[in-house]
A and B are shown apart, each in its own frame.
Chain A
Amino acid sequence: MNHKKINKKDLGNLLHQWSKDYTIFVPSNEGDTAQMGLWDGSDTGFLDWYRNTAKPPKANFLPPVEEMFRFQKGKEGHSIKLPSQEHQQLIFGIRPCDGRSLAILDNIFTDAYQDPYYLPRREGAVLVGLGCLKPYDTCFCTSLGISPGESNDVDLMLTDTGDEFLIEEISDKGKQLMELTAGLEDATEDDTARASEAKGKAHDKVTRKIDTQHLSHKLLSTFEDETYWEKVAAKCIACGICTFLCPTCHCFDISDEMVKKEGARFRCWDSCAFPLYTKMPMENPREEKWQRVRQKVCHKFEFYPMAFDVIACTGCGRCIRLCPVNWDICQTLGQLPG
């Protein structure tokens, strides 16, 4: 296949071109609040610092807080108004792990009932992947069948070859976008070879591993082992940050706000780390912290695979890297008895 390429200093022009049809999101807010944020129309300085965002791109599809609809109480009773349609997003620079996370999330949002907020955003969005050539030491994506330099979950895939990016068309949507994109050069065989080499090197840089082969069996046989889960949960402070920053966690709450006669129904991220999440008037099935830690681990590595045949983890390492007490999912999985 003929690949294209673009000089890095022309990236601004490329994004500008795409911004006529899409709202462009790029890595923004260097540091612990990095996320896929609205592009300011000129800055491509993120290329200097970007490894991955702290807040995963799920936030662009399942926002931390979103208005589901507004309601108003008038003389004739209540009326409901849906929010207006959003612009189509183009997310530039999404990493292969995060591309996969969206494919994983698609399962839950299409299961039984179609989610009317997440799915239109997904269908309208273009994902432009950027190979991850400097993975963190907390990354273990290769254990989940992901290679940091490659992705089939995005529409276009870019690889850093030095002064240029190699551009590969992955999906039909990506192909269509390329046909409408001007000013790209054809890549040479030499460019493709350099990209392949970079991808291979990136793959080898992921040294952290988990063994997924017997995981299901081990989790089942350890499920009732309260001692193990208490030990695992001991240092967890139940802050929930691992679930908020997990690219596949999707739990949400629904609540209302109202001022005078107008209000809105919202949904916002929620977390199984909190006892209130499952609390009922008379009892709580997951009152204890160890039960909630067990739920998080088993939901990702046991229950989600039972439902959708895919582990709800991409090995992005955010839950390890950004945990305030250095809780480590790899350790928890690696030390499972049985």
Chain B
Amino acid sequence: MTASNRSRFLAQGNVYLPHIMVIEKIIDETPGVRTFHFNFKDEKLRDEFSFESGQFGEYSVFGVGEATFCISSSPTRRDHLEFTLQRVGKVTNALHRLGVGAEIGFRGPYGNSFPLDLLQGKNLVFVGGGIGLAPLRSLIWNVLDNRDKYNDIHIIYGARSPADLCFKYDLDAWGNNETVNMVTTVDRGDESWKGREGFVPQVLEQVAPSAENAIAIVCGPPIMIRFTFPVLEKLGFRPEQMVTTLEKRMKCGIGKCGRCNIGNIYVCRDGPVFTYAQIKSFISSEY
């Protein structure tokens, strides 16, 4: 789970200097969540840049500051990059005020990535909640673009309400893909909702994908992750068959500023992708 391209791209010069990026498209996912399609202003860098699913970057609005988000697009689709964010603080509010054509700063990719070599030939169970689908969809498209390398695919995704479902265009695409078992759920539906209701961990238990030759990849709010792991264990998944990404407050993204340190782990440097087996071995339960 190492980022092979980690130092190659950024070793050239000052690691804290952002690249200037241009926003090419904005998609309103939910009332508070937006996806930005963006690209390097310097066209030379578009070909040089590479990343892996699960990696993150530091995004900035000049004059406001930097914030950390994963790259939510797939490395198999190189036309542009995407990131998805919820409007919660100073930087995310400033990002939400930007329009197409605006410039932002970007540095990355940082961190490790989803273990594609471990996933190949396996049955994959993707479990996502809310905006937690952002890192997961990078991997899902990555897998679907190389469909023959993987076995059965389950995607179980949920949000609080129908209005909180992110990436509805992806949910439709995956739902229409005959090689994917797609289940969408909401905690509570509304009058027009005809789909499933129930929390993600409960729905996972009902769908009950087999643990045999399988890997579960879980991304979502911490509370969902905490309730999902026990369900997976009940279904026969061992901790090393469960993969997730951890989210911590970060500033530098490169293991120096200190704040994502839990036990002897720096989430930015050693993660953000961990197996549940690794997480269980952490000295600290502050994850």
Contact = CB atoms under 8 A, between A and B. Distances in A.
Given A77-B41, A280-B247, A263 B62 contact: yes
Contacts of A263: 62-63
B13 A116 contact: yes
A258 B251 contact: no
Nearest to A272: B258
Interface string A250-266: 11111111100001010
Contact of B65 (A256, A272, A281): A256
Given A82-B14, A252-B252, A112 B103 contact: no
A73 B264 contact: no
Given A82-B14, A116-B16, A256 B88 contact: no
A71 interface: yes
Nearest to B254: A113
Contacts of A172: none
A285 interface: yes
Contacts of A113: 7, 10, 15, 254-256
A202 interface: no
A224 B139 CA distance: 35
A123 to B, nearest CB: 15
Contact of B257 (A68, A251, A280): A251
B118 interface: no
Interface in B11-64: 13-18, 20, 41, 60-64
Interface string A295-315: 100110011001100000000
A17 interface: no
Contact of B251 (A220, A223, A253, A286): A253
- Interface size class on chain A is 35 or more
Given A115-B256, A272-B258, A302 B264 contact: yes
B66 interface: yes
Given A109-B256, A114-B15, A256 B20 contact: no
A270 interface: yes
Given A71-B62, A256-B65, A303 B252 contact: no
Interface string A267-280: 10010100001111
Interface in A77-129: 77-78, 80, 82, 108-109, 111-117
A73 B102 CA distance: 11
Nearest to B286: A285
Contact of B256 (A108, A272, A277): A108
Contacts, number: 123
Nearest to B16: A68
Given A251-B257, A254-B66, A256-B62, A281 B89 contact: yes
For B63, B251, B284, the residue with the greatest tally of chain A CB atoms inside 10 Å of its CB is: B63
A125 B166 CA distance: 52
Given A253-B257, A270-B257, A258 B63 contact: yes
Nearest to B255: A112
B261 A299 contact: yes
A257 B20 contact: no
A329 to B, nearest CB: 18
A279 B60 CA distance: 19
Interface of A is mostly: mixed
A283 B222 contact: yes
B221 A282 contact: yes
A111 B255 contact: yes
A113 B61 CA distance: 23
B247 A220 contact: no
Contacts of B16: 68-69, 116-117, 254, 265
Contacts of B251: 252-254, 270
A140 B100 CA distance: 59
B287 interface: yes
Contacts of A253: 251, 257
Interface string B88-109: 1100000000000001010000
Nearest to A303: B264
Identify which of B17, B221, B285 gathers the most chain A CB atoms within 10 Å of its CB. Answer: B17
A116 B66 contact: no
A254 B252 contact: yes
Interface string B236-271: 000000000001110110111111011110000100
Contact of B63 (A252, A257, A279): A257
A192 interface: no
B248 A280 contact: yes
A53 interface: no
A291 interface: yes
20 contacts: A78-B20, A78-B103, A80-B18, A111-B255, A111-B256, A113-B7, A113-B15, A115-B15, A117-B16, A223-B283, A253-B251, A253-B257, A256-B60, A265-B16, A270-B251, A281-B86, A283-B222, A285-B262, A303-B263, A307-B264
Interface of B: 6-7, 10, 13-18, 20, 41, 60-66, 86, 88-89, 103, 105, 221-222, 247-249, 251-252, 254-259, 261-264, 269, 283-287
Given A80-B18, A112-B6, A254-B65, 15 more contacts: A111-B269, A113-B7, A117-B16, A220-B283, A224-B285, A250-B256, A256-B65, A265-B16, A270-B258, A278-B259, A280-B247, A282-B222, A291-B286, A299-B258, A303-B264
